[in-house]
Amino acid sequence: MRFGARLHDAMQARGRLCVGIDPHSSLLLDWGLGDDVAGLETFALTVVEAVAPHVSVVKPQSAFFERFGSRGVAVLERVIADSRAAGALVLLDVKRGDIGSTSQAYADAYLDPASPLASDAITASPFLGFGSIDPMIETARRHDAGVFVLALTSNKEGPEVQHARTADGTVAGTVLGHLATLNADTAPLGDFGAVVGATIGSSDERLDFNGPVLAPGFGAQGGTVADLKRIFGPAARHVLPSSSREVLAAGPNPVALRDAALRGNESVTGLGEA
């Protein structure tokens, strides 16, 4: 089954909240854990056990695992495997972007089922030109995976690139146009999504491109259901709000983590049918 169809079904069955797994040093310490591989493993696997059976998508941030070297990546491999075994889709947040054979190597690392890091979808950066991520797009198609492409992020530095104007509009608009082309005539949902921050304020871009939208910044970072409805309009039915701090702050108690995820899921049911 294609990624878009799997995601559509998962959001209908489990709700639309995506839980980020971001083992910040400060969070490890808040949980009473060491800022080391042992603390990372306890933190990450506790989150997986608590939330992966109950939400549609989990989103591990690769950098927080990579900072511990090969042992941290080994923990990430287990997070991916255990989350998928629990029925959650895994969106690996890597934001990779390169050209040619390097782009293909990233695609093989994260989207080829032969890799221990193989996930249901990844995040990618198109700012070397959308064609630079073609290897990731084609590998995703070959393996029924997905790609979420940075388009309108919430960071304050983003507009200098994303709002820059081309002959045909803005850079962000060009990215969204490519996604609309990739997802054309795909039902019930395209495989190729955009990353659009839940706290961008507003946008005149076309956000209904028949694909999923990852909206980080929901919850503790300030994004609300009202914001999502206002920003995305009719496209809100395809939005996957992402929350990490709001859920992770409930740990280390697994029941509290689970309940925080369920509350978050309940709060976004008003976005409409997936």
Q: Is the dihedral of CA 43, 44, 46, 50 positive or negative?
A: positive
Q: Which amino acid is at 26?
A: S
- How many whole angstroms from its chain centre is CA 53? 17
Q: Which amino acid is at 231?
A: I
Is 59 noted as a catalytic residue in this protein? no
CA 2/CA 4 separation, integer angstroms: 6
Task: Give the C-alpha distances (Å, rounded to integers) separating 138 from 7, 49, 264.
Answer: 19, 32, 34
How many residues does the structure list for the chain? 274
Residues 219, 198: contact at Cβ < 8 Å? no
Hey, which residues are catalytic here?
95
